[in-house]
Amino acid sequence: MFRINGIPNQQDFSALNGFIRRMRVSRRFTTIVNKYFNTQCIKIFAKDAGSADWDGKAPFGIVIETLSRKFKEQDKIETVEEYVDDVLSREVNYPTVIGESVMIPHPLMTFAKETAVAAAILKPPVTICKKAVKVIFLLAIEGRPNDDVSILFEFFKQVAMNENLVHTLYEAKDETDFLNRLISISTSIELF
């Protein structure tokens, strides 16, 4: 409900347009999450006694390479090497850490065959740009970004700015649990 007292003025019109946009966007979160995420492109990276996830290499590079291979397996990108190189070089110039613990890396020039999102949960968090990154959403974007991509960025921003939501995702037991938690968040998140 939106209340206007008296004759509407320009400020009322702007507020009403913003309210309508927020309602429209929040309903689309769930549809978009279901469209662009799948469990095959989600991985929990754990560094414990029996884990070989990091394999002695730089953690961020390993995460990007692993998720990129998942994109390739799903036929979302052309080549893993070109995609990884583009993402890593973009991060050097334009880091994509938002909030305190979420990152949304994506390539600068390499376009995907099909828009998709891969996700990584980093246990323990990895320090990137002096932040303890817990969750990474890696984007593969087709040549022409569409409205869905803007909605995805808005969704990631809302999640990143709420440490309780990040913690909810971080505590996922496996890839299916992560996706279920993400879908649950997408149905309940409110835009400010």
Residue whose tokens read 């890396």:
105
pLDDT tens sequence across 100-118: 999 999 998 888 999 999 9
Domain membership of residue 81 (yes or no) is yes
Domain membership of residue 68 (yes or no) is yes
Domain range for residue 163?
29-187
Domain membership of residue 24 (yes or no) is no
Q: Reading across the β-sheet that carries 42-46, which strands appear in turn?
A: 42-46, 116-128, 131-140, 102-103, 97-98
Is this prediction's pTM over 0.85?
no
Domain membership of residue 13 (yes or no) is no
Query: Three-state SS for 75?
Result: coil
Domain membership of residue 51 (yes or no) is yes
**Largest CA-CA distance found in the chain, in angstroms, rounded:** 68
Query: CATH no. for residue 62?
Result: 3.40.930.10
Residue 83, classified by CB atoms within 10 Å of its CB into exposed (0-12), middle (13-18) or buried (19+), is: buried
pLDDT tens sequence across 26-81: 567 888 888 999 999 999 998 754 445 545 456 899 999 999 999 999 999 999 99
Domain count within the chain = 1
Domain membership of residue 82 (yes or no) is yes
Contact predicate 26/155, CB 8 Å: no
CA–CA dist 116, 140 (Å, integer)? 5
152, amino acid identity: L
Domain membership of residue 1 (yes or no) is no
> What pLDDT score does 38 carry?
92
CA–CA dist 88, 93 (Å, integer)? 9
**What are the Cα distances from residue 160, in Å, to 58, 76, 142?**
23, 25, 24
- Structure-block tokens of residue 180: 């279920």
Phi, psi values for residue 80, rounded to 5°: -65, -45
CA–CA dist 87, 78 (Å, integer)? 14
> What pLDDT score does 3 carry?
72
> What pLDDT score does 49 carry?
40
Domain membership of residue 2 (yes or no) is no
